[in-house]
Amino acid sequence: MNILITGGAGFIGSHIADAYLKLGHRIVILDNLSSGKRENIPSKAVFYEMDLLDPDVEKLLRDEDIEVINHHAAQISVVRSVTDPLEDANINIMGSLKLLELAKSRGVKKFIFASTGGAIYGVQDTFPADENHACRPESPYAISKFSVENYLHFYKTAYGLDAVILRYSNVYGPRQDPHGEAGVVAIFCQKLLKKTQPVIFGDGEQTRDFVSVLDVAQANATALNTSLTGIFNVSTGKETTVNQLFRHIADLAGNEEAPRHEAPRKGELQRSVIDSGKFQKNTDWNPTVSLQEGLRGTFDFFASQREK
């Protein structure tokens, strides 16, 4: 298939491109390189340095005969969305809406959308949260993701556009951007490699559900299944405290220095963990990368980057 990956030069998108190429698909990447990196782009992929709102996106879809769109291009910083919600909405909502209009007009067969798990559910009532949990987005970033989910429901109902919405927990791994939802992994790795003292906001007992980008890439490969549509959590369903995470990475770095604790950040969730049982029951996907294995691969990646 001819597959367009928006944001394919980014952390998650580039891993998905690798996975799709291994399956024999023809991959076209659209990325404006505002946060993505040219070196992340697989050599076998066709690359367009272009913004989602560029009028030439329509020509790209036509010329490349795009059959499936995997939409990962986004403004990914929760903090930035709070300080500039207009920019966040322009990129994440208007950019996505334009892409949906083009998908409709071009007869695209399937639209795969990268959404968010922890941020979209907000303060949880149950642990882990499944897809039926109430959505209480508390940041413009999460609101924009939820808005696109609702637009996808409209395009399915009105125009028959099949969609798979993947609500990620905290994704980490090689090529990670420190500004994303799971940026703490990249930050800890970089700080410890530089032998500078990392900072933990609050007491460090807040929990997150960390899922490897390699498992996320396989989830996106699974989402290509022609019969699969709907909303699915992609996660491990396991909670890890920030203190535990730091200890794992500090052990990899051979660092015995304690982190510095600062005041907790306003609005930060104390617990966040989501259930991927629905996705596992409907597909053959399961998270296979353990936290220890994933952190080792991530730490080794950042160490190799420092050696270049």
Residue 237's φ and ψ, nearest 5 degrees, are 75, 15
Enumerate residues 6+ apart whose C-beta is below 8 A from 258.
none
User: Please, what sign has the CA dihedral across residues 127, 133, 137, 141?
Assistant: positive
Among this protein's residues, is 141 annotated catalytic? yes
> How many beta carbons lie within 10 A of that of residue 180, not counting itself?
22
> How many beta carbons lie within 10 A of that of residue 221, not counting itself?
16
Cα gap 17→5, rounded to integer Å:
7
Cα gap 84→287, rounded to integer Å:
35
Give the distance, in angstroms, between the CA of residue 62 and the centroid of all CA atoms in the same chain.
Answer: 27
DSSP type of residue 274? B
List the Cα angle 85/91/93 in 5-degree steps: 80
Cα gap 96→148, rounded to integer Å:
7
Catalytic residue among 20, 48, 141, 172: 141
The amino acid that residue 38 corresponds to is R
Catalytic residues: 141
